Chain A
């Protein structure tokens, strides 16, 4: 019986609404007052049934509920023969709940879309080569799994065979496919676009990055900010106070009508739901765009940030040195020079050497066709080797000087110009003559410049860079990005001290780093931002905000979003407080009665939900140019 009433609440609402309509028509026709009242009473009884049932269930477990207040109010209204009011109050209460449910689902839709990306099944590969389709919950660590084109990767793992382009939007919010092959890590929930892979399961079930992201967002959406806690406390006093007022009014003035009107307005619905609903829409928007914002409190602090501190390597820059230019002076082409040096550097463990080798291979050089006869790495200088009977010297100026290789004015000028741009210049001589200069740089992230500009336009006052790197490179990066201050050659403990100093000066500091060696500074800042690259555990745990695709545009988006969300929350609170005042004054002044009180109450709840829904489709980059928010 109870379950049936529960299930058919919507139908009961509709029926109640139709009965009210019939009752009204009869009333307008001024025919049988008895018939009209009969319909309205029926509408009230049908409508109040599901409400009263919930109230009773709560009472049985000695728990207070809003439904109890409404039930009392409706019964009271029937008692004083206010059938129009009683039927409309119940109908509005039910219909309001229905609309709230529908609109709330919209505010929660971002997370639901994510959850729907969860994989359901996996193709298990047996040792004999046969395949079996199993449920994703049955996959164990160490299982070998096959993923076919269009298929979802069921668990976190490492590719052991095959290659594929993979859409990682579920984890990073970035829908441009990523190319992955042997030895690369893949994540549950991401989709294999084209190709074929076999992988070994490393993390399954609730341990996958995807599952952790979902859990983190769920927790974040429900973690309360200070404002919310305050409002909660307010309403936890407000409701009993108004209820008490209703009882007092009844006892002292024996005015039942006024008493039950108070009961109807005792729950400040918009006030209770206004802040959380902005929160959930804002955090959901972030999640969809690859930014995890850990709760309403973080949102409030992020919106107040006025000083940005960045780690250089791996944060402002990609953290992966690349060959930016091969400038030749002799007859050899750039690719030839690169091939000879790369062959020589195959024995080198220096990261610049390894960068050259990687670049040569990526540009299609077959190193096995070259012959390396002898090689010697000279620490802090470079390398000397013989490749295909050519004598190769590759390294810095000091090495060239030591080997009496002449660097003419033109080449010297060129090298300095490259260094001023933040490159490391590697001089290459073949058979005693300078042949080329290879420039290697840790490149600045593509979107860093635009993102910093956007954050400045939205309220950031100071941008500061920290690095353990040398002053020269630091300056080049700082100049290119228009950073206000930079501090080079720092130790991790220096970074923490500096963040603390900024805080003492009254700045609200957001510190962004790669999450591992910057963890102490990230923890010390008002807001810690971690570049998550697929969401490493450490960054997800220590930081307040995680950028899942390591994109600066995500950082800027999060910052502008937080401001927008906080503004939205304030609007909602203002609306809700205004409604509380209007209702109280209105009821006391006799302007607001049962039905109109319920109408204003339910209406205000819908207004705050609809207001919060605007956050779902918010796009930071578009809003700056003042265009529409439609996606």
Chain B
């Protein structure tokens, strides 16, 4: 189980959070998603044998939000 922290562009509406959380948590291999509205961050617990950090980033970008940095550990 790995944890990725994505720094997103500044989020402006709390409904963005729901969108991003919803889309990420539907991905297979994603265990837990927490989106921080004020910090504009998405924290994802994922199984790296099923999904990669790049795929997580891709999903967020497909929603139309820029991913500034992504850190995994």
- Measured in the bound complex, the distance between the Cα atoms of B37 and A363 in whole Å is 54
- Measured in the bound complex, the distance between the Cα atoms of B38 and A105 in whole Å is 9
- Measured in the bound complex, the distance between the Cα atoms of B23 and A219 in whole Å is 21
Per-position binary interface string of chain B over residues 3-38, scored 1 when its CB falls under 8 Å from any chain A CB and 0 otherwise: 000000010111100110011001000000000111
- Measured in the bound complex, the distance between the Cα atoms of B63 and A148 in whole Å is 46
Instruction: Give the interface segment out of A267-275, A365-373, A387-395.
Output: A267-275
| Partner pick for B39 among A57, A66, A111, CB 8 A cutoff | A111
A218 touching B12 in the complex, CB below 8 Å, given contacts A2-B64, A53-B64? no
Most A CB contacts (10 A, CB to CB) among B12, B26, B38 go to B38
Instruction: Check: A100 CB closer than 8 A to any chain B CB.
Output: yes
Residues of A contacting B23 in the complex (Cβ-Cβ under 8 angstroms): 58, 61, 63
CB distance from B69 to the nearest CB of A (A): 12
Instruction: Check: B55 CB closer than 8 A to any chain A CB.
Output: no
Query: How large, as a class, is the contact surface on chain B?
Result: 20 to 34
Q: Are B41 and A104 interface neighbours, CB within 8 A?
A: no
* Chain B: CB-nearest residue to A275: B14
Per-position binary interface string of chain A over residues 265-308, scored 1 when its CB falls under 8 Å from any chain B CB and 0 otherwise: 00101001100100010000000000000000000000000000
- Measured in the bound complex, the distance between the Cα atoms of B12 and A6 in whole Å is 14
- Measured in the bound complex, the distance between the Cα atoms of B9 and A97 in whole Å is 14
Known: A218-B39, A276-B37. 20 other contacts (CB 8 A): A54-B63, A54-B64, A58-B19, A60-B62, A61-B59, A63-B22, A64-B18, A64-B19, A65-B15, A65-B19, A97-B12, A104-B10, A111-B38, A221-B39, A222-B36, A222-B38, A267-B15, A269-B13, A272-B14, A280-B38
23 examples of A-B residue contacts, CB within 8 angstroms: A6-B64, A57-B64, A58-B63, A61-B26, A61-B62, A61-B63, A63-B63, A64-B18, A65-B15, A97-B12, A101-B10, A104-B10, A104-B12, A111-B38, A218-B36, A218-B39, A222-B38, A222-B39, A232-B14, A269-B13, A272-B14, A276-B38, A280-B38
Closest 8 CB pairs of A and B: A218-B39, A221-B38, A61-B23, A222-B36, A280-B38, A57-B64, A101-B12, A63-B22
Residues of chain B having any CB pair with chain A under 8 Å: 10, 12-15, 18-19, 22-23, 26, 36-39, 41, 59, 62-64, 66
